Structure 1
Amino acid sequence: MAITRRHCIKSLGLMALGSTSSLSLLARQTIEYPWQALLGVSLCGEYDYLAEVEGDIPDRLAGTLYRNGPGLFERGGYRKQHILDGDGMIQAIDLMDGKARYRNHFVRTPKYLREQAAGRFLFPTWTTLAPGLWENIPGSPPLSQAGITTYLMDGVLTAHDEVNQPFALDPLSLKDLGEHRISPTTAPTNLKAHAKRSGATGNWTFIGWNHGPAPSAEVIVRSPKGQVIDHRKVSMPRDCYIHDFFATDQFTIICLHAIEFSPLPMLAGLYSFTDCLKWNPALGNQVVVIPRDPAMPVRHFRAPARFMWHSFNAWEKGSELIADFIAYDSPDHFIGKDPQMRAIMQGRLTQTFNSGIAYRYIINMQQLTLSEEPITDGNLEFPIIHPELGGLRSQFGYATFGSPGNFFHSGVTRINLSTGVQDQYDFGQQVHVGEAIFVPEGMAENRGFLLSMALNGQTGKSFLAILDAAHVSAGPMALIHLRHHSPLSFHGTWSGKGYAEPFNIS
């Protein structure tokens, strides 16, 4: 059963956002609500149409951009508490012959299907408890929402969460194909959404996390054909929440932030998972380096307290490991007192005090030392590199940027990771711009296209911007205008194969 517009209006149109105001008021962009709040409003219905194109889509840019993120935040008068939480929605924009086709599809996970049939939320998720007390015991999210990342692997499109296994879809039709197991053996409960693909071998590396009195991480390495090459379980020095990691062909690097996780209130059904996280900079970071060779010891390094959502890349340079990432002195946009990601779901835009800065770890595996140095300043997030350089030396990266104190960014930048020099374009204060997918032309790291989904705060509708990666500051080559807004979209991937059939829709 799909979410129809009529169903959505009936169930959501009169639901309160915060204490007294409705989503219908939010949709009319009243002064009371910041326009960024639309990023946390569900997209009602599933669409398939030719989008309006402003400018010219380059003829050599043909294929499909896939995006994944939370697309459903409300059911039965109950609303998610955090913009990071919601049922997964795949968006596909097919580019061919100067035209653009837009489609979206809610991933039919078991959670989605059961709650759709019931007309209400039944299960706790990362940031939001279920409506009833008993449904929240033992508290840990039991089912995947499949709403964070998406990859093309094993001939399918996969949709990942941070719990259980990903789900597969047909990359052409977006038809649901069910759970897609990363490892046939026992896998960790919390399989992380991010994966790393080696530019040298094509192998995929995944990690999982096992919470508890004896926390551990699991490293799973798969060949391009889907065969499990390695599956290791490694004890961790403390329990933690992690989202992303680093990988080279010889090492997996996991950064344990200075976060304390106290699970007892969650297990009792009183707090959500994220409510049990506390930033404690006195802990510092611990960087755990796991060799691919099991005969080599696991190494632990101390580092300054930083919170990392996402990494650029890591590679080996003689006896050194180079790891580039974006991190915050404190994740006050995510957890703590009135974080911005929670406030925006109530129609408020709060201030944060820590920006995302690009850093580099230099880990010397002979001298057993770790040093940290800044790459460039600014308020950055959603770092990416050339998709064929995972685990190999990379000179350029791409990211979003915004004003200090705001997690919702307005621009796209190319960063020289060796010098810190940036080439950037700002869409303006009334635009939110999301992760820019780099579509390379050959192996050059700064030749190709950047594709970024954005929300226009003046119109309340979203668009896809196409930029020349070699001349980011020149601005968009083309804009593809959607007929509606798009909720916050986290991550995406590109398929250069193109759509299999000519567009025959209007």
Structure 2
Amino acid sequence: MAAVDALAFAGLEGQIIPASKHKASGAAAVNGNAAADNAPAGSASLEAAAQEGNKDARSGSSRSSSTYPTMAARQALFYEGIEQVDEVEAAVQGSIPDWLAGSLVMNGGGDYTPMRHLFDGYGLLSKVRLEGGRAWGSQRYIDTKALKAYRHNGQVVANEFATPPGSLWAYMQQALAPFAALFPGLLPKSIAPTIPPMTDNACVNVLTVGSAAAAATKQQRNSTNTSGFGIAAASSNDTSRSNGSTQQQQRALQLLAITEDLFGSYLVDPASLQTVKQVQYPDRLPCIMQSPHPALQSDGSLLNFSRTFPFGGSHVYLQGRTTLAREEVAFVPDRHWLAPAWMHDFASTDRHAVLLEHPLYLDFLGMVGGWDNDAAWMKWRPEEGVRVHVVTLDGSKPVRTFTTPAFAYVHIGNAFESADGSMLHVDLGVFEDAQILNDLKLQVLRHGPEQGRQVSPCSYMRLDVPLDCTGPLRLPGPKPLVADAAAKHVDFVDYFNVHPALKGRSYRYVYSTCAVRPTHINNGLAKTDLATQEVKVWHSPGGVTGEPHFIPHPSAAAAAAAAAAADGTAAAAEDAGVVVSQCVDSQGRAFLLVLDAASWSELGRAVLPYSTPYRIHGVWVPSEGAA
């Protein structure tokens, strides 16, 4: 099959030039199965660079700079982002479909100046709003205590993921913060209110909450006659239906910005991106850490897990989308009570949750002191393998635990049950070890080809877990879903996304970021066909790509949802729509990319008049009345 031709956009004027005539700075779309002589001219250099880069993905023996992010891109991504409080119109190049109405809201670090790791920057929300083929952008810092303390003191005060406080006095301030309310003179009055006992830097993810979000989705679900399509309505047992001030305060759509730490949850106004308040959960569920990846169930509730330690474990819970009240459904004790595993994400369907306890363990002394260990400040113990915990959400079965050979992971792509209900398939990005956490140190990311370092390989794989509880407790490891991943530019994939109707269901296409090597971070977007193993890659030399979000076309949405309800697939309509991604080009300019999901060709982009730091996770928020 011939590769798909893409359009390359040059300059702010929006001039459209065929990729074959603009090899150096334009975008190129590449079909992973196409022969080199069938590829467009713009992808020939990409293939050569990738083949050279694949010689040694871990050591980075090739130092070609053509596919690394440029210095301008790295300056924009890994230092300090400037607020753009008022919406400003973006320059549209190409065309954005008129039916595409809504906002892509992304979370991630905004100020990386004092930080050591990609997961540490002070949270900044960025939004690109689309309507009638036009685009507007804005971005704003989340008003956290950690950010206030940093700005007041001129140094980091609260421990971030891999960045410790900036001085002994800063350590003391954080240690004394929990006692400041009891002993008013313990800390200077000017700083005591701003110091959190642990970081509340909500810099990882953002999702929609509130009864308005649920009501809008309920209407969408009713129009498609399926419980599996889109963002689901509020759960019937969500206590938000009761009268009271809570219902009035949260009636409108709101954004919830979250991170892994207990205090790092903030409500944000979706129109202005202004911080509303820090979330205080109306329950007593034990929680020191939480996954920043709540899973939306078809009944409208959120599924997630919190962590307690030492002598604790994982508390799996369901959460109302309006009140945010949590109800525990299962508890999974840690393998090592004094050293819990770091688990960023988990797999889920409407009936099951799967926790993957890989052998990457928290070292609290390393965290507090900021000391390097096997992977950032954590310990990697591959000889212990992975524990796979299967939780039945209705409580009808006890937690079932399996073991597999060691692997590491960060993000789950999707999970679904086999047609006969005997097997649960978990699709995820699999690393050989946990070196990815070292790859994401800012001292690595701020440099490019001069270091010759490359991002660790990560392949999309499937772990098969039996549900009949009669099989062996020892399972084989995950198996690759794509052959020749390196040749297809998907030997590093991350930030997975699927059709919203097929989350927790059988599916065909997965969208992700990828690495066109040599590079030390994601610089491409991939569409992988799991039925044929065909891969299509979009790549812009010198730039960096963000998390992809698939948005179904209105005319195909109902058909896809009906097919999903009937047989668990979206049939031919599964890729009818667009994929949007917030990216940075080789000149350091931020832009929202719009790809046709079927052909993987570029339809257009909205170039923002300000820079945007590296984005991590986000959410597509449809406009009111949009399909």
State the TM-score, normalizing by the size of structure 1. 0.83
The corresponding residue for 1:85 is: 120
The corresponding residue for 1:72 is: 111
Which structure would you say has the larger RCO, counting Cα contacts within 8 Å and 6 or more residues apart? Answer: 2
Say which of 510, 534, 553 aligns to 1:397.
510
Q: Which region of structure 1 is more displaced relative to structure 2, 246-255 or 404-413?
A: 404-413
Say which of 586, 591, 599 aligns to 1:463.
591
Say if 2:551 is the partner of 1:439. Answer: yes
The corresponding residue for 2:432 is: 329
Within 1, Cα distance between the matches of 2:334 and 2:317?
16
The corresponding residue for 1:484 is: 610
Say if 2:317 is the partner of 1:220. Answer: yes
Say if 2:193 is the partner of 1:95. Answer: no
Say which of 157, 171, 174 aligns to 2:273.
174
Q: Which region of structure 1 is more displaced relative to structure 2, 161-170 or 289-298?
A: 289-298
Structure (1 or 2) with the greater strand fraction: 1
Q: How far does residue 243 in structure 1 lie from its aligned partner after superposition?
A: 0.8
> Contact (CA 8 Å) 2:95, 2:603: kept in 1 or not?
yes
Max radius of gyration: which structure? 2
1:482 counterpart letter in structure 2:
L
> Contact (CA 8 Å) 2:407, 2:431: kept in 1 or not?
yes
Within 2, Cα distance between the matches of 1:113 and 1:280?
37
Within 1, Cα distance between the matches of 2:72 and 2:341?
33
> 1:445 aligns to what SS in structure 2?
helix
- Judging changes above 3 Å, is the alpha-carbon distance between structure 1 residues 353 and 131 closer, same or farther for their aligned structure 2 residues? closer
What does the per-residue CA deviation read over 1:28-57, in whole Å, with 9 as the maximum and x for residues that have no partner? xxx995843532111123343111110111
The corresponding residue for 2:359 is: 258
> Contact (CA 8 Å) 1:332, 1:352: kept in 2 or not?
no
> Contact (CA 8 Å) 1:64, 1:498: kept in 2 or not?
no
Say if 2:41 is the partner of 1:41. Answer: no
1:466 counterpart letter in structure 2:
V
Q: Which region of structure 1 is more displaced relative to structure 2, 61-70 or 285-294?
A: 285-294
> 1:276 aligns to what SS in structure 2?
coil
The corresponding residue for 2:206 is: 150
The corresponding residue for 2:494 is: 381
Q: Which region of structure 1 is more displaced relative to structure 2, 53-62 or 224-233?
A: 224-233
1:494 counterpart letter in structure 2:
W
The corresponding residue for 1:344 is: 444
Say if 2:174 is the partner of 1:120. Answer: no
> 2:435 aligns to what SS in structure 1?
coil
Within 2, Cα distance between the matches of 1:89 and 1:344?
22
Within 2, Cα distance between the matches of 1:266 and 1:257?
19
2:522 counterpart letter in structure 1:
H
Within 2, Cα distance between the matches of 1:262 and 1:196?
28
**Number of paired residues?**
456
Within 2, Cα distance between the matches of 1:353 and 1:53?
32
2:429 counterpart letter in structure 1:
I
5+ residue gaps, structure 2, are 1-68, 176-195, 211-252, 561-572
The corresponding residue for 2:345 is: 244
Q: How far does residue 405 in structure 1 lie from its aligned partner after superposition?
A: 6.1
Within 2, Cα distance between the matches of 1:187 and 1:62?
40
- Judging changes above 3 Å, is the alpha-carbon distance between structure 1 residues 282 and 399 closer, same or farther for their aligned structure 2 residues? same
- Judging changes above 3 Å, is the alpha-carbon distance between structure 1 residues 285 and 205 closer, same or farther for their aligned structure 2 residues? same
Within 1, Cα distance between the matches of 2:157 and 2:582?
31
Say which of 268, 289, 298 aligns to 2:390.
289
> 2:261 aligns to what SS in structure 1?
coil
The corresponding residue for 1:207 is: 305
2:149 counterpart letter in structure 1:
R
Within 1, Cα distance between the matches of 2:139 and 2:388?
38
> Contact (CA 8 Å) 2:360, 2:434: kept in 1 or not?
no
5+ residue gaps, structure 1, are 1-30, 501-506
> Contact (CA 8 Å) 2:109, 2:119: kept in 1 or not?
yes
Q: How far does residue 96 in structure 1 lie from its aligned partner after superposition?
A: 1.0
Q: How far does residue 71 in structure 1 lie from its aligned partner after superposition?
A: 0.5
Within 1, Cα distance between the matches of 2:523 and 2:509?
20
State the TM-score, normalizing by the size of structure 2. 0.68
2:442 counterpart letter in structure 1:
R
> Contact (CA 8 Å) 2:150, 2:157: kept in 1 or not?
yes
> Contact (CA 8 Å) 2:362, 2:379: kept in 1 or not?
yes
> 2:294 aligns to what SS in structure 1?
strand
> Contact (CA 8 Å) 1:206, 1:220: kept in 2 or not?
yes
Say which of 356, 362, 368 aligns to 2:464.
362
- Judging changes above 3 Å, is the alpha-carbon distance between structure 1 residues 123 and 248 closer, same or farther for their aligned structure 2 residues? same
> 1:412 aligns to what SS in structure 2?
strand
Within 1, Cα distance between the matches of 2:75 and 2:447?
6
Say if 2:471 is the partner of 1:415. Answer: no
- Judging changes above 3 Å, is the alpha-carbon distance between structure 1 residues 430 and 495 closer, same or farther for their aligned structure 2 residues? same
What does the per-residue CA deviation read over 1:186-230, in whole Å, with 9 as the maximum and x for residues that have no partner? 3411112111112x3222111112232x24001121244445454
Within 2, Cα distance between the matches of 1:234 and 1:282?
21
RMSD: 2.6
- Judging changes above 3 Å, is the alpha-carbon distance between structure 1 residues 289 and 181 closer, same or farther for their aligned structure 2 residues? farther
Say which of 569, 579, 584 aligns to 1:450.
579
Within 1, Cα distance between the matches of 2:109 and 2:76?
12
> 1:432 aligns to what SS in structure 2?
coil
> Contact (CA 8 Å) 1:71, 1:87: kept in 2 or not?
yes
2:521 counterpart letter in structure 1:
F
1:157 counterpart letter in structure 2:
L
Within 1, Cα distance between the matches of 2:511 and 2:352?
24
Within 2, Cα distance between the matches of 1:71 and 1:57?
27
> Contact (CA 8 Å) 2:552, 2:577: kept in 1 or not?
yes
Within 1, Cα distance between the matches of 2:413 and 2:269?
28
Q: How far does residue 328 in structure 1 lie from its aligned partner after superposition?
A: 0.9
